[in-house]
Each structure stands twice: as C-alpha cells, then as structure tokens.
Amino acid sequence: MAPSKGNFDSKSSQKNRIAYSEFGNSSNSEAMEPGVPDLPPQQQNLKVQATRKGRGGKTVTVISGFQSNDQTLSKLLKQLKNQCGTGGTMKDQTLEIQGDHTDKLLQILTQLGYKAKKSGG
C-alpha cells in the first residue's frame, strides 16, 4: 500500500482559491461604487414630469436630477409621499410618486429650497 497523503479534496479547494486580487477583498462592493456628491438643495436642478411610459397606462410623477445620497433621498421620498397621500419609489437617483402631482410637488420642493422645474407637457 502507498502511504496516505491525507484527505485532500481538490474540487472544494479550487472554489475558494484566489490566485490574484488587485484591489483587495472583492466582497467590499461599497468601496468600488462611485460616490455621489451630496449637494445642498439650493444647488440641485430638479425636473418634475408626469409620465405614463412603460407603466401600463398608470400615471407617475417622476422627479429627476438629484445629486444626493440614498439616505437623503429616502427621507425626502417619505415626506413627499405623506404630503401627496400616495405611494412611490426611488429608482436610480430619481423619485417616482404615484399619480399626477406635478404642481403640488413643485410647490413642496420649492418650499424645501430645491430649484425645480416642470418638464414635459
């Protein structure tokens, strides 16, 4: 009999094996994402537009042009949803409020200090 060299499972060791890693730990994805500048409301130019495109005929008011972090946007979204009495979501630095609330949102955003314009028809 040949001498035993131990229980070496080559398949499991190849899964966890890293040959080269230039930027350190790859599980730290937050460090790899580009930063978003958190500008004050007076320096942000927002566009408010009501649209139905790609939403099954449902009207949604889209607010775009934000240059803020996700925490600031989520707080603002909650406040806007409460004042409009509807639902909404945040997608890719834009806020979507259910229904056509362009005039109401323009008024609220200008009171909060944002430079907002009505966009589209």
Mean pLDDT of 54-76: 91
- Asked if the model's pLDDT at residue 103 lies above 70, the reply is yes
DSSP state of 42: G
Residue 100: phi and psi, rounded to 5, are: -95, 100
| Domains in the chain: ranges and CATH | 41-118 (3.30.780.10)
Give how far Cα 25 sits from Cα of 16, 19, 21, 76, Å: 13, 13, 7, 34
Look-up: residue for tokens 């009999």? Answer: 1
Predicted pLDDT of residue 60: 95
Residue 95 Cα to chain centre, angstroms: 9
Q: CA-to-CA distance for 87 and 38, rounded, in angstroms?
A: 25
- Asked if the model's pLDDT at residue 107 lies above 70, the reply is yes
